[in-house]
Structure 1
Amino acid sequence: MAYAAGMPMVLGLALLAFWLYCLFDVITTPEEETRNLPKVLWVLIVVLLLAVGGLLWLLLGRPRVPSPLAPEAGPGETARPAAPRGPDDDPEFLKDLDRRLRDED
C-alpha cells in the first residue's frame, strides 16, 4: 500500500506537465493557425481552466495537421500518395553511376 501514497503526486505532476505542454503549444502556435477563437482567448482558457482548458485547446483550438500521405487534390481529383522513388528511378543517379563505372575501367 505504500506505493498508493505517492499516486496523487504522480497524477498532479502528470496534469502539470499536460497543462504546461498545452500552454506552450498555444503560445507558440501562429495566430492565423488557431481555430475557433483568437489566440489570446485560447491562452486565457488554458491558464484559467487548467486541464479542462488544455483539453479544449487540443480538441477545438489546435491547428489540424494535414496528412503527409495525402497531397491536396483539386475538385474532382482523388488524393493519392506519391509512389516511392528508388535510386534506379532517378535518371541523374543512373547517369552518374554509368559515368563512375566507365571511369573505373
Structure 2
Amino acid sequence: MVRVLPVLIQLALLVYCLIDCIQTDSALVRNLPKAAWVLLIVFLPLVGGVAWLVAGRPARGAAARSVPWPSTATAGFPEYERPRVTGPDDDPEFLAGLRDSDERHERMLRDWEADLRAREQGLRDGGPAGDDGTPEPRPGS
C-alpha cells in the first residue's frame, strides 16, 4: 500500500492540474501559453503539475479581460446605438395593417351577406337566382 501511495498522489495531481489548466480561460493563464502548460503537465506530471499550481494558475480574484460592452450581448453596438426590437403589439404600422385587414374583411362579409339576401329574395320571387342575384329563366318558359 505504501508503494502505491506516491503513484496515486502523482496521478491525482496530474488529473487535477490537467483539468484545471484546460478549464482556465486562456487570457488568465500566467507565464506560458495554455498549450505549453498542458504539454508540460502531461509530459512532466510531477514537475509540470507543481509548476502549474505555483506559476501558471491565475491569481485569486483575477478577472477576464473586460471590454466596454460584450460583443455577443449587443452585436457590436454600444447600448445607445443598439437597434431596438419591438414586439408586434408595440408597432403602429403592424396595428394599422391589422385594422385595414379587419375593415377589408368586414366589407367583404357585408358584400357576401348582401349577395346572399339578393339570391334568397330572387328565390322567393320566382325561381333560382344567378350569380348576380337576378332570377334565372325557368326551363321551358
TM range (shorter): 0.5 to 0.7
Gap runs ≥5 in structure 1: 1-5, 68-105
- Distance in 2 between the 1:66 and 1:28 partners? 16
1:13 pairs with one of 2, 8, 18: 8
Q: Does 1:47 align with 2:42?
A: yes
Q: 1:61 aligns with which of 35, 56, 59?
A: 56
What count of residue pairs does the alignment treat as equivalent? 62
Q: Which amino acid aligns with 1:27?
A: I
SS at match of 2:59: coil
Answering whether residue 28 of structure 2 is matched by residue 33 of structure 1, we say yes
Task: Give me the whole-angstrom Cα distance separating, in 2, the residues matched to 1:34 and 1:22.
Answer: 13
Q: Which has the higher helix share?
A: 1
Larger radius of gyration: 2
Q: Which runs of 5+ in 2 are unaligned?
A: 63-141
Amino acid corresponding to residue 7 of structure 2 in structure 1: G
1:79-104 Cα shifts (integer Å, max 9, x gaps): xxxxxxxxxxxxxxxxxxxxxxxxxx
- In structure 1, C-alpha distance between the alignment counterparts of 2:59 and 2:3, rounded to whole Å: 33
Report the residue type matching 1:9 in the other structure. V
RMSD: 1.4
**Ranges of 4+ aligned residues in structure 1 off by more than 3 Å:** none
Task: Give secondary structure in 2 for the equivalent of 1:15.
Answer: helix
Q: Residues 15-73 of structure 1: CA distance to partner in whole angstroms, max 9, x if unpaired? A: 10111100101111010000011100000110111111000001110000139xxxxxx
Determine which structure has greater relative contact order: mean sequence separation of CA pairs < 8 Å that are 6+ residues apart, divided by chain length: 1
